[in-house]
Structure 1
Amino acid sequence: MNADRLARLRYLVMLWISGCIALGAVTWACFALRCGMATTSFIYLMVIVLLSFLDSFVSSTVFSIFCAGCLNYFFTAPLFSFRVAHTQDFLALATFLITSHAITALVRHTRRLGEAQREQARLLDLTHDTILVTDMTRVISYWNRGAEELYGWKREEAIGKVAHQLLQTIFPVALDDINEQLSRTGRWEGELVHTKRDGSKVVVASRWSLQRSESGRPLATLVTNNDISERRRAEDELRRSQAEYLAEAQRLSLTGSFGWRVSNGELFWSDQSFRIFGYDPEITPSREMVLQRTHPDDVARVKQLFEQAATTGRDFDFQHRLLSPDGSIKHLHVVAHAVIDEQGSHKFVGAIQDITAATLADEQLREAQTELARMSRVMALGELSASIAHEVNQPLAAIVTSGAACLRWLGHATPQPDEVRACVQNMMANGKRAGEIVRRIRTLTKRDTPQKMRLGLNEVVTEVASLVQHQVLTHRVKLRVKLACGLPRLAADRIELQQVILNLVINGIQAIDETDDGLRELLIETRQDEDGWVVVAVQDSGPGIKAENVNHLFDPFFTTKSDGMGMGLSICRSIIEAHGGRVWASSHAARGAVFQCSLPALGESDLTEPARCR
C-alpha cells in the first residue's frame, strides 16, 4: 500500500469516527430533549449535508445508514430495538435514506460544478489571452487576469460596464452588422482598436462566440482578444519597406506597374509609371492620357489592343512608342495578366518597362554588325583582287581587240559595215559585262540595309563562282559546281547570301593550301532536303575539322588561323539565322570539311536555273 492510499484511509477513518461522534451527540441531544422522529431526521440531514462536503458518496452512505439506525433504535417504537412495529415508521426510515442520498448527491454535484468552474477560471487566468464574457447588452460579466494586464482595469472595475464603452472600441464595420452575423452564424472574427486605461491604443484580433441555452435562446458572448499591435506595426513597417524597395527597384529598372479595371475603365499607376508617361502623380490616369502620349503611328494599334483585351479578357504583351511633349521618343514594353476580383469583375495587373536604351543599343548593334559584315566583304574582295582584275581585264581586252578590228575593216579599200557593226556590238556587250562586274563589286562593298527579294540559289552560286575563278587557278584548286534542278526560290538578300558563300569558298581554298598532297578539290553543291528547305554545301579537301573545334567554329573571334580575326564564320551564322535558316560544319567522311547552310523556301520553282544542273 503506497503512501497516498494509506493517507486516504487514515482520512476516512478519522472522518467516519468524527462523523459518528457528531451524529451520536446529536442523537443524545435529540433523545434528551424528547424530539420527534421528524425533527431528529431534519437535524440528521443537516449534519449529513455538512459532512458530505468533506468526502465522497461512500462516506455519505455510511453516515446515512448510521442515522437511519439511530432513528430506528432510539426514536421508533418499540424503543431500543431495531424492530419496526408500524408500517409508516418503515416508510419514514426509507424516505429518510432516499432523501439523504438525494440531497448529498446534489451537494456533491454542486461541489463538483463549483470546483470545475474554479478550475476553469484559474486556467483562464493563466492564459495570456484577453477573455471576457458579456451578456446580450454587451455588459461585462467576466474579466480574466489577461484582460487586467492588457487594459489596466481590475476585474471588479470592469464587471458591470458596457464593453465597447469602457474600451472605446473602434469597429471595422458597423456594430449592428457584427451583431447580425453573430446572431446568424454564432461567430465573428475581426480586428478591433481598443483604448487602455492609460489612454494608449491597442490593436487586437478579436473572436466572438455566441453562447445559447438548450432552447436556443442567446445567453452571452465569449470574447477572446489577442494583442497584435506589435505584429501590426511590424507588418506596416514591412509594407512600407517593401513599397520603398519596390519603388526604388522600379525606378532603377525603369519599370512601372499598373492596374486596369475593365468594368469602369479605372487605371492605377505606380510612381514610376507616371514618370515614364511624364504626368503629374497627383492626377488620375486614364486611357485618354495613354493615347495622348502614344506615338501617332502607334495610336491605332494601341486602341485595338485595348479593345481586344477588354473583349477577350486575355493576357497581352506588346511594344509601342511614346512621343513626349519635348519631341523625344520612348520605346515601351507593356505586359499584363488578367485576373478576376472578388466581385467577379475582370481586371488587368501589369508592368510597363522603358526599353528605349535597349532599343537604341540594338539599333547600334545592328549598325555595327552591318558595318562589320561590309568590312568582311571588303576583306574577302581583297583576297580576290587578282580574280577581280582578271575578270575586268577580260572584257576590256575584248573591247580593245574589237576596236582594232573595226579600224582594220574601216581601213579597207571597200569598207565592210556589217563586220564593223558586229565588232561594235561585241564591244558593247563586253562593256556591259565589265560594268556588271564593277556593279557587283561596288554592291559587295556598299554599306546598306539588307533588302530581301525573291531569288534563286543557283544564280547566287554562279555569280560567286565567276568571282573566284582566278583565285582557284592561282591556288591550283579544282572547282566543281553541282546545281540541283528545279530548286524553289528564296526570300533573301542577294549580297548577304553572296557574302556567306564567298566566305565559305575562301575558307575552303585556304584549308586546301594547308595540305601537301595532290588532291586539291573544292565542291559547291545545291540541293533540296527532305523538309523542303534549300541547302548549299561547300566541301573542301583540306585537313578537316578537329573534334574539339566543331562546337566553336561559329563563335565570335574564334579562329584556327595565325592571321585570322575569327569573325567570318560568326558573320555567316548571323546572316543565315537572320534569314530563318541554319548553318553547320562537319568533317567529311573521306577527307576535308563540309560547311552547309539551309534556308526556308518560298515554294515556287526557280525558272532561271542554268543549264548545268544535274
Structure 2
Amino acid sequence: METELTRIFDALPVIAWIALPDGHADFINRCWCDLAGRGTEEISGQGWMALVHPDDLPAMLASWHAMVASGKPGELRVRMRHGDGNHHWHLFRVGPLKNASGHVTRWYGMDTGTGGRQQPAESSPASELDALLTIDAMPLPVAITAPSGEVRRVNRHALHYFGRSFEQLKRSKASEVVHPEDLPYIISAQSKAYETGSTYNVQSRHRRSDGVYRWFNVVGMPLRDAQGHISCWMHLLIDIDDQRRPEEALRTTERKLRSIIHTIPALVWSARIDGSVEFFNQHYLDYVGLSAEQVADWGWKAAVHPDDLDGLADSWQLIMASQAPGETEARLRRFDGEYRWFLFRVNPLRNEAGHIIKWYGISIDIDDRKRTEEQLRRSEAFLAEGQRISMTGSFSWCLDDNEVMLSDELYRIFGFDHDTTVTLDRIAGRIHPDDATLHADKKSDAREVGSDHDYEIRLRMPDGSVKHVHVVSHCAQGRDGQREYIGAIQDVTQRRASEETLGALRSELARMAKINSLGALTASIAHEVNQPLSGVITNASTCLRMLAADPPNIEGAIETARRAIRDGHRASDVITRVRALFSRKSSNTERVNLNDATKEVIALSQSTLKASRVTLKTDFCQDIPPVTGDRVQLQQVILNLLLNASEAMNGVDDRPREILVRTEVDEDARVRLTVQDSGVGFESEGLGKMFETFYTTKSSGMGIGLSISQSIIERHQGTLRAQANNGPGATFWFAIPRAGSDMRTTTSDSDATAPLLRAARVAGSL
C-alpha cells in the first residue's frame, strides 16, 4: 500500500509528502522538488526546514510536534521558498494513517492552497476552479463536494471506476456505491470532519462498475479560501484492495490462530526479545487465575514457586543468550494455590535476516510424571539397598542376541567394573573350572528347552577366592517377542561356609554321641547279661559242691543244674532281644511316594554331598506306584545309603565322584530304589558280613547302619541287597511291596528289656 501511495503522491500536481510516526519526513513528492528547485535528497529528512521562512519555522515546528504528539489531523500555514528565491504562502492539510489497533503508522500532508504573493492578506483565495482543473490529472478517483456534502465534481477516474455519469453519481445513494457494512462508519467520519473542519482518513469498500467491492483508503481534506473559510472538500480514494485483502486474510488467519491457541489445552505464551512476556493464552490465564494485565511483561513471576524463581530466571537468560531452543522445569501455582511441576519449552522466531524477533513457548504439566519418577527413584533405591543387604543381584539374558544386563549388585558379586561390557564369555570366565560343565549344561538347556532354573554354582574370582552363588531364573517373552531369561543370583558364600562349619560340628557331635550311645548300649547289655550269668555260675558251683559231698546230693545237684540251665536261657533271651530290638520299634504307617521321599532326603544331604565334591544324578520312574510304610524310617535307610556311598568316595581323586539314585518297578511288581557309587567298592568275601551288627570297613564306623537299615526294610516286608559294580564302586538297593500288600508290624517292647531298647534306639537313630 505504501508503494502505491508514494506513486500517487508523486503524480499529484500539488505539494505532498509522507512522514514517519515520529514526524520525520520520509517522502517528498516531485511537485515540491520542482517548486523548490531542489533534489529529493536535499528536502527529505530535515532538509525541508531550510525552505521554511525563518520567521515561520518556530511556530510551525511547535504546531507540527503538537500534532504528532496528539495523533490528530491538523493544518500548517507557512511560507515556503520556491526555486526563484521568493517565499510563498502554503496551507498544508495533515492527517494520520492508523492501523487496526489505532496506532499511527504514517502522516500524510498535502498543500491545499498556494499563491504567488508573500503575505496572506495579498494572496488570493484558493480557487475552486484550480482544484477542479487539477483533479482530472490525479491518477485516482477524486470527488469535490460542497461544504454541505453535495457532489460538485468527480474526475474521470471516478467516473470510470463507478461506471456512471456525473449526473448518475449525483443522484446515486451512498449505499449504492459504498459497502453496506462500511457505510455507517464512513458517514460518521465525514460528519465529524464536516463539523470540525478537519481532515478525515478512513478505509472502506466501494462498488466497482462490475459489482465487485474493493477496499479504498478515503482521505477527505477541506479546501479553504483566503479568509480560511471552507470552500469545498476534496475526497481522495486510494485503492488499497491488493494490500488490504492479504492483510485481511492475515488478520482472519491470526484470529483463527489466536482462537486455536486459546483453545489448546496447554499453557502457551510468547515473549519479546528482551524476555518480557507479551502474550498468554486463555488456558494459561485460567490456570494461574490471573488476568492478562497482571501477568504481562514480568508479572508472570508471581505464579512461579519462590524456590524455583531464581533458577527459572537464570535458565531463561541462558536460553536467550544461546539464541537456540531450550527447556527448563519449575513449579507454577494453580488458581487454587496448589503448585505443580511444569516443563517450559521455548523456540525463537526469526525474520528473513535470521534475527530473533520473538520467542514462543509452551508449558506442559509434568507433575504426575515427576511424582512417578520420584517414586521410581525411591523404588530403585529401595531395590538397590535390598539387593545390597541380601547380596542378591538381578540379570536379564536375551537368547536371540546374547545381550546381558546386570544390576549393580551383580556387578559387585562378579567383580566387574561398571564400565565393563558384560558378555556370556566374561561370565563364563568367572565360573569355577569344576562347575564349568554344569554351567554349560544349564546354558544349553536354556537355549533348547527354555525351562526354569534353580541351582548353585561356584565362581573363581581374580584373586583366587571362591564364591558360592545360588541361581534362579525364568524364561519369558521379552522385547519384540524375543525369548529372555530373567533371574536373580545370590551370593551364598557366607551361608555355605556356615553350613560347612555346622556340618563339621554336627559330624563331630554325632561321632561323640555314637561313642556315648555305644557305651550306654554296652553297659545295658552287660547289666542284662551279667544277672543270668551270675546265676549260672552260682548254680554250677552249688552243683559241684553237692556232687562232691559224701554221699553226693544227687537230687539237689540235679535241681541246681536245672536252675543253671534256666539262667543260661535267660542270658540267651537277652541276646535274642538285643538282635530283635531294631525291628520292634513303633512306626507310623502311611502311603509313601518313594520319589518324593527321596527328593526330600537329597535336599537335606545336598550340602554334605557338595562338601565332598560329589555329583548326584537321579533317574526317577515317572509313574512309580506308592508304598505303605513309615516315611521317616524309609528316609533313614535312603539317607544311610547316600552317606555310605559318599563316604566310600572320600579317597577317590582319579575319577569323578558320582552317585546315581534310581527308582523303578521290578519283575515282582515291587518298588525298588538303587544307590550306585563310583567309590572303592568292597571285596566279595565281605558281602556275607555286610549287614551284620557291628561289622564295618570304616575306621570310624560302628557297623550298625546297614544292620538297622536291613531291619527296617525287612519290617516293611522287603529286601536290602548289595553288589559290586563291574567297574569301580558298589550298588545298594532295596525293594518293598507297593501299597495294598498285607503288612504286619510289631510295636510292643518287653518291659524287662525297656532300658536296653531305649539305649539301642538312640544308637540306631544315629
- Per the normalisation by structure 1, the TM-score is 0.38
Larger-gyration structure (1/2) = 2
State the TM-score, normalized to the length of structure 2: 0.32
Structure number with the higher strand fraction is 2
Higher relative contact order (CA 8 A, sep 6+): 1
